[in-house]
């Protein structure tokens, strides 16, 4: 059934259909609407056999999720920004313990200065935590990704973050079609933990590992992460087959002319300029780039669906040695450039592509279509340097903005 | 457990041999089929009262739960000495996550078991004073105020012993630690600092709060049984001397615990819903010096200039004796 729903409601209803046993959260904007809705469903019984736990901090929210997952229940939480950082220690811990918790991150900037609006700084701060990080382009994908995330996480024993842009998606109403309870039940197997606190088979979880075993522990975690790419693709394929929509996957390709998502779209060519982005700005780009294509500008669009594991190979193939690669980046690695750009750069090492980091939309600054078109036009004639801040206000002291070479 | 009054057949001790009791009234530890939840082979120091207390607490809880007990453990000595991979000294299902979150992990376990309809399985969380009184206090308080069905046990050795004996907010006044050196005008931990976790727990008005020591293991056992007979949030605070951190002979962990109680320094109490319900009276009054002198962390109190601090200790003990009527007979 197609319906108009706020992004948070779409996510909450979909999460409920995944039948979590424990939902535990601490309020922080812009994640609140999701967990408010889940708390109501747990209280009314619409979400059956589920404990909703109100806790005193995000640190405890993740810790309760760890306990619940270790005790054999499907566990879900949601957070953003400062909350994600406040739970950071437990975020790493959940991954190290192999507990497949699913967490929505309603992406938001990190202070100081305090700012409640959207960028990707929060998720990027946890990029090496050992969690899968799946980014949603719109509300439909945000909802669908949760079903996929539980399946992928539980098959791998790796926790998963579903990242959706705060306010831009969480608080925006859009037409969506939610996976029905029947569809989710047919798609998502029951949670069968690989290790669990079981009185009949007692085990010690979370032991100390000394120098003689720690490296191997991390290496095995790394191997699981290498497996994750294929597992993400497989569950995304299964979702399309069973539920009939494109969602998830390592990267998304777009038709060169319509700019609609198209898994069969050909790779970019060496004469193209490719724009790479992640999250809701993909929608802005679809709209912004269409007029350029109409003018015959050789611009292509690609989006990253899985930031962790980072799809280096898939991205390199899809970019096809494009002469220019513009990364629209919503998180900044201070003194260096965009965070996504750094990862794309590693994927493109040796290909000869010119990489341009366009840092945009920090702290909720709107990303304007005209500004994106302007960057693409200038990049095509080599007028964009390796790092540019989109729509930086005039009057800010800066050396030769637009052609700044940043030492790496 | 019913209380039985039996005559003393020994002299010079307040302990009575278990062999004088009927089999059914003997301690769990005196039985060959005791659970041995914390089993042999761990790496605790000689004289570690935490290991002793944890063994009694866990065995009693396991038995009271009919073997259906899950444990969440905070980071600290207890976790480090018991679980260096690939070995584990724990027999029940046991999980360690982080330093500050044992109470929250236990809440998650209890929530999951409830959602699974497994309310027959009980949940115990445990940690040291650092993981409870300091870094884990928010999670402990949250678990208390929600009245989650968890028994939380704090083994209080009054400092960060695992990291090399630094001061915690459970470190007693005037004690020398690595970060409160015995130098200057007010050597050691400052008077007027620190907090009572027992009183904090009572302020949450949770169903059951108790304190205990390893000097009276039958009392500890009885309190674990009482705690396990109740649902909701429960707190047990056990004083556990640390020979390394306290600078005490490893053979003195029991006698130091006894001196702490008999001098009035460590009140042994029970409380229900915030109301004090029972107090262990002082049976043979000890001086504060009996507790302080054997510990190197208080050595500066017995050098010239230590008289004022000793007097302040007497005042602290007197205050406890008054507050909890430790000598009995208050009108």
Give domain limits for chain A.
2-243, 251-389
Put simply, the answer to whether B93 touches A57 (Cβ < 8 Å) is: no
Tell me what percent of the residues of chain B surpass a pLDDT of 70: 95
Residue of A nearest to B112 (CA): A68
Per the CB < 8 A criterion, the answer to whether B101 and B120 are in contact is: no
**What pLDDT score does B18 carry?**
67
Q: Residue A40: which pLDDT band, with cuts at 50, 70 and 90?
A: very high
Mutate to test the interface with A, among B101, B123, B162 (most CBs of A within 10 A): B101
CA distances from A103 to A32, A94, A149, A282 (A): 13, 11, 9, 22
Domains along the sequence of chain B with CATH: 33-324 (3.40.50.970)
Cα dist from A252 to A236, A298, B185, whole Å: 11, 18, 69
**DSSP secondary-structure letter at B29?**
G
Instruction: Quote the minimal CA–CA distance from B193 to chain A in Å.
Output: 25
Closest CA to B156 of B47, B45, B239, B250: B239
Contact between A204 and B94 using a beta-carbon 8 Å cutoff: yes
Cα gap A405→A402, rounded to integer Å: 9
DSSP percent split of chain A into helix, strand, coil, nearest 5? 40, 20, 40
Q: Is A279's pLDDT higher than 60?
A: yes
Question: How confident is residue A408, by pLDDT bands cut at 50, 70 and 90?
Answer: very low
Alpha-carbon gap: B98 to the closest alpha carbon of chain A (Å): 7
Tell me, yes or no, if the two domains A2-243 and A251-389 fold the same way.
yes
Least CB-CB distance to B142: which of A21, A55, A65? A55
**Residues shown for chain B:** 331
pLDDT digits (tens, 9 = 90+) for A229-258: 999 999 999 999 999 999 999 999 999 999
Contacts of A203 in chain B (CB under 8 A): 93-94
pLDDT (mean) for B45-57: 98
The values of phi and psi at residue B136, to 5°, are -100, 5
User: Which H/E stretch holds residue A333?
Assistant: strand A332-333
Indicate yes or no: CB of A67 within 8 angstroms of CB of B106: yes
Question: Residue B278 — φ and ψ, nearest 5°?
Answer: -155, 145
pLDDT tens digits, one per residue of B135-169: 999 999 999 999 999 999 999 999 999 999 999 99
CATH of segment(s) A251-389:
3.40.50.920
Per residue in B81-100, pLDDT (tens digit) is: 999 999 999 999 999 999 99
- In terms of C-beta density within 10 A (0-12 exposed, 13-18 middle, 19 or more buried), how is residue A125 classed? middle
Q: Residue A21, class by beta-carbon neighbours within 10 Å (0-12 exposed, 13-18 middle, 19+ buried)? A: buried
A22 and B111 within 8 Å at the Cβ level: the answer is yes
Which of A21, A97, A204 minimises the CB distance to B88?
A: A204
**pLDDT at res. B202:** 98
Nearest CA in chain A to B138: A56
At A199 the three-state DSSP class reads coil
Which residue among A49, A90, A202 places its CB closest to the CB of B115?
A: A49
Q: Which residues of A touch B70 (CB under 8 A)?
A: 71, 197, 199
Contact between B111 and A207 using a beta-carbon 8 Å cutoff: no
Question: What is the rounded CA–CA span in Å between residue A282 and residue A302?
Answer: 8
Q: To the nearest whole angstrom, how far is the Cα of A20 from the nearest Cα of chain B? A: 10
Statement: residue A386 has pLDDT above 90: yes
Which secondary structure element, helix H or strand E, spans residue B211, and what is its range?
Answer: strand B208-213
Return the CATH number of A2-243, one of 3.40.50.280, 3.60.21.10, 3.30.930.10, 3.40.50.970.
3.40.50.970
pLDDT band with cut points at 50, 70 and 90 for residue B14: low
Check CB contact under 8 Å for A59 and B138: yes
| Chains A, B: CB pairs < 8 Å | 158
Q: What is the pTM of this model?
A: 0.96
A201, closest residue in chain B (CA to CA):
B93
- Rounded CA separation B189/B187 (Å): 7
């Amino acid at each position: 059934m197609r319906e108009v729903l706020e992004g948070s409601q779409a996510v909450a209803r979909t999460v409920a259909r995944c039948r979590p046993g424990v939902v535990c959260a601490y309020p922080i904007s812009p994640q609140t609407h999701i967990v408010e809705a889940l708390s109501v469903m747990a209280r009314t019984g619409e979400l059956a056999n589920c404990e909703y736990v109100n806790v005193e901090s995000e640190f405890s929210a993740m810790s309760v999720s760890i306990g619940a997952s270790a005790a054999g229940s499907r566990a879900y939480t949601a957070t953003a920004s400062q909350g994600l950082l406040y739970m950071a220690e437990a975020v790493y811990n959940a991954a190290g313990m192999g507990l497949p918790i699913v967490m929505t991150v309603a992406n938001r900037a990190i202070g100081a200065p305090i700012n409640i609006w959207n960028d990707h700084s929060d998720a990027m701060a946890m990029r090496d935590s050992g969690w899968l990080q799946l980014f949603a382009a719109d509300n439909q994908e945000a909802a669908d990704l949760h079903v996929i995330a539980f399946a992928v996480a539980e098959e791998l024993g790796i926790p998963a973050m579903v990242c959706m842009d705060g306010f831009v998606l969480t608080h925006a109403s859009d037409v969506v079609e939610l996976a029905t309870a029947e569809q989710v039940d047919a798609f998502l197997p029951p949670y069968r933990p690989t290790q669990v606190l079981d009185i009949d088979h007692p085990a010690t979880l979370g032991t100390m590992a000394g120098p003689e075993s720690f490296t191997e522990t991390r290496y095995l975690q790394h191997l699981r992460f290498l497996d994750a790419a294929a597992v993400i693709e497989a569950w995304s394929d299964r979702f399309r087959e069973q539920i009939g929509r494109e969602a998830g996957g390592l990267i998304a390709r777009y038709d060169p002319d319509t700019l609609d998502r198209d898994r069969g779209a050909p790779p970019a060519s060496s004469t193209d300029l490719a724009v790479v982005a992640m999250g809701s700005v993909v929608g802005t780009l679809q709209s912004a780039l269409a007029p350029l294509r109409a003018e015959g500008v050789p611009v292509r669009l690609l989006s990253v669906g899985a930031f962790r594991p980072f799809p280096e190979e898939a991205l390199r193939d899809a970019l096809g040695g494009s002469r220019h690669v513009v990364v629209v980046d919503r998180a900044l690695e201070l003194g260096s450039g965009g965070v996504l750009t750094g990862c794309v750069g590693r994927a493109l090492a040796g290909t000869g592509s010119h990489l341009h980091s366009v840092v945009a939309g920090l702290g909720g600054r709107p990303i304007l279509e005209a500004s994106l078109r302007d960057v693409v036009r200038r990049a095509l004639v080599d007028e964009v340097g390796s790092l540019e801040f989109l729509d930086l206000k005039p009057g800010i002291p800066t050396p030769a903005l637009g052609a700044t070479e940043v030492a790496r | 457990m019913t209380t039985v009054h039996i005559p003393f057949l020994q002299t010079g001790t307040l302990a009575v041999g278990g062999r004088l009791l009927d089999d059914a009234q003997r301690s769990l530890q005196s039985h060959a089929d005791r659970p041995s939840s914390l089993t042999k082979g761990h790496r605790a120091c000689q004289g570690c009262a935490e290991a002793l207390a944890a063994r009694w607490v866990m065995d009693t809880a396991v038995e009271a739960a009919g073997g259906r007990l899950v444990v969440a453990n905070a980071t600290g000595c207890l976790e480090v000495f018991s679980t260096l991979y690939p070995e584990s000294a724990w027999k029940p299902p046991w999980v360690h996550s982080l330093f500050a979150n044992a109470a929250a992990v236990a809440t998650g376990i209890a929530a999951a078991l409830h959602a699974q309809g497994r309310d027959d399985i009980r949940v115990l969380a445990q940690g040291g004073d650092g993981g409870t009184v300091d870094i884990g206090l928010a999670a402990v308080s949250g678990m208390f105020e929600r009245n989650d069905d968890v028994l939380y046990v704090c083994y209080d050795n009054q400092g960060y012993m695992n990291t090399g004996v630094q001061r915690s907010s459970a470190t007693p006044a005037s004690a020398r630690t690595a970060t409160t050196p015995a130098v200057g005008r007010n050597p050691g931990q400052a008077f007027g600092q620190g907090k009572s976790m027992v009183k904090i727990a009572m302020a949450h008005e949770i169903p059951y709060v108790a304190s205990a020591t390893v000097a009276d293991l039958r009392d500890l056992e009885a309190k674990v049984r009482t705690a396990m007979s109740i649902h909701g949030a429960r707190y047990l605070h056990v004083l556990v001397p640390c020979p390394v951190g306290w600078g005490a002979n490893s053979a003195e962990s029991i006698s130091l615990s006894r001196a702490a109680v008999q001098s009035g320094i460590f009140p042994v109490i029970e409380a229900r819903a915030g109301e004090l319900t029972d107090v262990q009276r002082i049976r043979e009054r000890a001086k504060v010096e009996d507790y302080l002198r054997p510990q190197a962390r208080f050595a500066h109190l017995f050098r010239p200039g230590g008289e004022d601090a000793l007097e302040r200790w007497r005042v602290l003990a007197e205050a406890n004796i008054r507050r909890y009527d430790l000598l009995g007979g208050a009108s």
